[in-house]
Amino acid sequence: MIIVRNLSKSFPPDHQILSRLSFQADEGELIALIGGSGSGKTTLFRCLSLKDKWDEGQYIYDGKDISGIGGLEQFKYRKDWAFLEEKPNLNPRKSALKNVLSGLFFHKAWWRILSGTTSSDDHMTAMDYLDKVGLLEKAHEPIEKLSGGEKQRVAVAKALIRGAKVIFADEPVSGLDPEAAMRVLEDLKSICEKDKVIIFCSLHQVELAEKFGSRIWGLSGGRLVVDIAGRRLTHREKELIF
Ligand SMILES: Nc1ncnc2c1ncn2[C@@H]1O[C@H](COP(=O)(O)OP(=O)(O)OP(=O)(O)O)[C@@H](O)[C@H]1O
């Protein structure tokens, strides 16, 4: 569970980006974050994944206040989190399988990392995750030969194999055709429900947020102006956000 109280962040000299955000996110929730360009979506994700510092506020993760923790302790928590970006962070020349296996970096023995060897158990686990996102038959294809949606689904499998408990998906379906976008979001939603991970997913299309979000957050000018259970937004709620 994630609890945030009064989180604020500004960029110098005094550009306030996030303003006193408070919320709770529970396991199994897919939180669809919507907001205009520059409303602070990426900055919020960067703060929650400890990539950026914030100025004020309390951040409680799994019952522990991690607001002021330093480098080494941060590393421990970062193992629990994965980032999905618009352009998936994958090696284009390596196969889908090898890319998924690289997600085990945090968990493998040092000699396996140095020698690049993997056990047959690791191999089967990676195949299981590729199966979960419907890409078993593409396991040996190099990433550069996959479509945008397939690449994103490999990135999802890579996040899962590393045991991510929280996934920050920053506009993961921008640039995908509607069918591919639906498939990626269907996978994320099913993983969220079955594996009880928390997924924060920023989206530009309100309809997708309404269809896939178990909750919808609306961010405007760095403020959380809408926080509702997944359903169609009212006209007034849309006006508050955009
Ligand atoms: N490193 C930085 N230094 C100064 N200002 C920044 C920095 N990063 C982001 N900003 C500013 O913070 C604001 C919020 O940016 P952010 O990227 O979080 O918005 P966003 O909602 O993700 O936008 P988009 O939908 O366009 O990606 C913007 O005004 C941006 O210019």
Q: What is the pLDDT of residues 73-126, one digit of tens each?
A: 888 888 889 999 889 999 999 999 999 998 886 666 555 555 666 677 888 999
Q: State whether ipTM is beyond 0.95.
A: yes
**What is residue 76's predicted lDDT score, i.e. its pLDDT?**
83
Cα dist. 121→101, 104, 125 in Å? 11, 12, 6
- Asked if CATH classification 3.40.50.300 holds for the domain at 2-241, the reply, yes or no, is yes
Q: What pLDDT is recorded for position 109?
A: 57
Query: Which pLDDT value is given to residue 204?
Result: 93
Q: What residue owns the CA closest to ligand 1's atom 3?
A: 11
- Closest ligand 1 atom, CA of 222? 14
pLDDT of amino acid 121: 83
Q: Are 206 and 2 in contact (CB under 8 A)?
A: no
Query: Do 30 and 213 contact (CB within 8 A), yes or no?
Result: yes
- Between CA 19 and CA 223 the distance in angstroms is 5
**Distance of CA 66 to CAs 3, 7, 74, 215, Å?**
11, 13, 8, 24
Token couple for 160 = 């899962």
Determine if ligand 1 sits within 6 Å of the CB of residue 148. Answer: no
pLDDT of residue 68: 86
**Strand pairing class (15-25; 2-11):** antiparallel
* 74 CA distance to ligand 1 middle (Å): 23
Global confidence as pTM: 0.92
35 Cβ inside 6 Å of ligand 1: yes
The segments of the chain whose pLDDT lies below 50 read none
Q: Which two tokens stand for residue 235?
A: 């006209």
Res 193: pLDDT: 92
